[in-house]
Amino acid sequence: MRLTPAEHLLQELGITDPSEIDLEAIAFHLGARVRYRKLEGCEARIIGCNNDAIITIGKDCSHRRKRFSLAHEIGHWTHHKGRTLVCRVEESQPQDRMSPERVANNYAADLLMPRYLFGPATRAFPKLNFKTVDEVADIFHTSRPSTAIRLVESGHSPALLVCHGSKGRKWFTRGPDVPSRWFPKDDLDADSFAFAVLFGRNPDDSIPRKIGADAWFDRWEAPNYMVQEQTVRTGADEILTLILIIDHNMLEDDR
């Protein structure tokens, strides 16, 4: 496995367990001091000159949000020295192009959940669901959305992760084994369990439940398949849904 820059740094520092990932110490090692202050209009910022920097993290954020913001700013310090950037930390939203923000987000994910530790840790959880997401998040001290993204994109199980608000789909990501033809609908189907969680105020799904694939995909063959769906609320007007592919015929090459 080829190491990313963040993973290479962690191995250089001799980190062999998630509990050893001390972000303030890593920032100091790279010439950046960290402070926590009340910020207006942003959750984190970095000011650097030559080989020294000051990273400021909003003190009102949750502990795990602070960790991601700090890892994100370390990513900027590693990749974007000398550049002026308007930084917006979006840990729970995969970007679709290699912008500086995506580079920093990817670096943060690798720093917080390095694959050489993440893979072995997640093998203890054979089933992908939000219980697994939460237990893995507790191991790495990361948020539920960022951990779910990492699990799906690492190929733990054939799955998609979809975020919806009241105005429709906000973003989605799919696992490496899921063909690109399985593209989720823009709007929630009224027959989906997710619809009832977002609009009907139903409680979060405790376990994945079977549903016709046509509730999620506008493909001619979708009515022939079943998927599993599990939805949890991530905000007053936002939900996150795992769509698990349980029929291996759906994983055949694009048609």
Binned at pLDDT 50, 70 and 90, residue 94 comes out as low
> How far is the C-alpha of 223 from the C-alpha of 203, rounded, in Å?
27
Task: List, in sequence order, the alpha helices (H) in 141-239.
Answer: 144-153, 193-198
CA 175 to each of CA 48, 152, 180, 242, 245: distance values in angstroms, whole numbers, following the listed order? 37, 5, 10, 11, 10
pLDDT per position as a tens digit, 172-206: 999 999 999 999 999 999 999 999 999 988 999 99
> What DSSP element (H or E) covers 9?
helix 5-12
Map tokens 């105020």 to a residue.
Answer: 201
> How far is the C-alpha of 253 from the C-alpha of 241, rounded, in Å?
24
* The predicted structure's pLDDT at residue 193: 95
> How far is the C-alpha of 231 from the C-alpha of 197, rounded, in Å?
7
- β-pairing verdict for 226-235 and 168-174: unpaired
* Nearest by Cα to 169 from 149, 189, 154: 189
Lowest mean pLDDT among 43-47, 60-64, 203-207: 43-47
> How far is the C-alpha of 105 from the C-alpha of 94, rounded, in Å?
8
Listed in sequence order, the residues at least 6 apart from 67 whose beta carbon sits closer than 8 Å to its beta carbon are 23, 112, 141, 142
Summarize the chain as % helix, strand, coil (round to 5).
35, 20, 40
CA 233 to each of CA 59, 169, 198: distance values in angstroms, whole numbers, following the listed order? 25, 14, 7
* The predicted structure's pLDDT at residue 90: 58
Binned at pLDDT 50, 70 and 90, residue 49 comes out as confident
Establish how many alpha carbons lie within 13 A of residue 136's alpha carbon, considering only the half-sphere containing its beta carbon.
31
Please answer whether residues 63 and 141 qualify as being in contact, where contact means their C-beta atoms are separated by less than 8 angstroms. Answer: yes
Listed in sequence order, the residues at least 6 apart from 16 whose beta carbon sits closer than 8 Å to its beta carbon are 117
* The predicted structure's pLDDT at residue 128: 98
Identity of residue 170 = K
- β-pairing verdict for 226-235 and 238-245: antiparallel
